[in-house]
Amino acid sequence: MSEDRDGMVVYWRPGCPYCMRLRLQLRFTRLRYSLVNIWKDPDAAAFVRSVADGNETVPTVTVAGRAMVNPSRHQVLAAVAEYAPGLRRD
């Protein structure tokens, strides 16, 4: 598993309060994205470690291939606006 070069991927794990908060916040946006549980996908966990200094820090989000570790809703929306405006659903 590697980051989606055109879309948005939210890497998460069960029980993570930061993941739950970001996922709830994103639910109220009109963004299209994929969710990947790093505990069920070893390749996704390896990808997260590769962009998070060897740690499995989640949420990690990629927007058009650009990784952000533990981003805020604002940071995600800004990245979408800059790199992938087509992710917004009409």
How far apart, in whole angstroms, are the C-alpha atoms of residue 73 and residue 43? 25
The domain of 30 spans: 8-87
Question: Tell me, what CATH number does 49's domain have?
Answer: 3.40.30.10
- 55-83 pLDDT, tens digit per residue, is 999 999 999 999 999 999 999 999 999 99
Cα 40 to its chain centre, rounded Å, is: 16
Q: Is residue 1 part of a domain?
A: no
Cα 60 to its chain centre, rounded Å, is: 5
- 5-39 pLDDT, tens digit per residue, is 779 999 999 999 999 999 999 998 989 999 999 99
Q: What was the pLDDT predicted at 50?
A: 97
Q: Is residue 3 part of a domain?
A: no
Number of independent structural domains in the chain? 1
Q: Is residue 2 part of a domain?
A: no
Q: Is residue 24 part of a domain?
A: yes
Q: What was the pLDDT predicted at 83?
A: 92
